[in-house]
Every structure is written in C-alpha cells, then in structure tokens.
Structure 1
Amino acid sequence: MYRNFFKRLFDLLVSLVGICLLSPVFIAVVIFLSIANQGKPFFFQRRPGKNKKIFLLVKFKLSFDDSLFHFEIFEKSKTF
C-alpha cells in the first residue's frame, strides 16, 4: 500500500515540476500558433477511449486550414 502511495506522490510531484518548467514554452507556442492560425491554436477531436467511452482530444494545431492547397502548390513546384 505504501509503495503505491509513494509512487503516486512521486508521479504527481514530477508532473507538477514538469508542467511548471514547460509552461513558458507552452505559452510561447500558443501565442505563435494564435498568430499563425488566425486565433485558433488548438485542434479538438472526439475519440473512443477505454471501454469505447468518447473523450475530447486537445492538441496544438500545427497545420494550416488550407493545407491541401499548400500541398498542391508543393507538388506542382517539384523539379525532380
């Protein structure tokens, strides 16, 4: 019982320290993506999880809304 308690406590403390250390990076990424994506820095998607329960996945939006257009321009500009 105590082993599980200390492992859980260790996991929570390491997670808290990691979030505190990385929060300035996350804030900078959100600001940059807000500028690049016209104010929409996050991507939301519903996915099935454990026991087929639906949950909301939140990720940084790293692609453009018109990425297919950019891909077509890239394909046309290939020279090899």
Structure 2
Amino acid sequence: SLRKALTRFYPNLKEMELQDYKVRVLASEHGTEARVRVLIESRDRDSHWGTVGVSPDIIEASWQALVDSITYKLMKDEQHRK
C-alpha cells in the first residue's frame, strides 16, 4: 500500500521490484528481547541493491529496510537525471 500511494507522485517506483526478503534473529539467547535484522534486496531495470533494518520488532525492522530501499531508488534516479 505504501508503494501504491507513492507511485502517484513518483511513477518511476513502478520499475522497482522486491527480489528477496530475509529475516535473521540476532543474539537469540536473549529470547523475546532479541533483535531481528531484515535484509531487503530490490532491483529496477538498471541495478540491484540491498537495505537493512534492525529492531526488536520485526515490523519496525521491515519498515526501516523498505523505506531505505524506496529512498535509495528515488535518490539514485534523481542523481541519474543530473
């Protein structure tokens, strides 16, 4: 739904694809206090990249990685236009 909302203003996000989503528990000996690391691998027609989010909350870690991936795509496209 984030992508759908943003493509209205940034149509080039339609080129972006999620390639992989990985979750790893860090320091699992801490039980429910353990942190998770989410790795999102994305691509468009020109390149591929990875972003990471870390948090005790898997949703927060996923959100961090997703927002960073979208931000990277937008910044990369803007730099390419210059």
TM value normalised by structure 2: 0.29
Q: Which has the higher contact order (CA 8 A, sep 6+)?
A: 2
Q: Higher helix proportion, which one?
A: 1
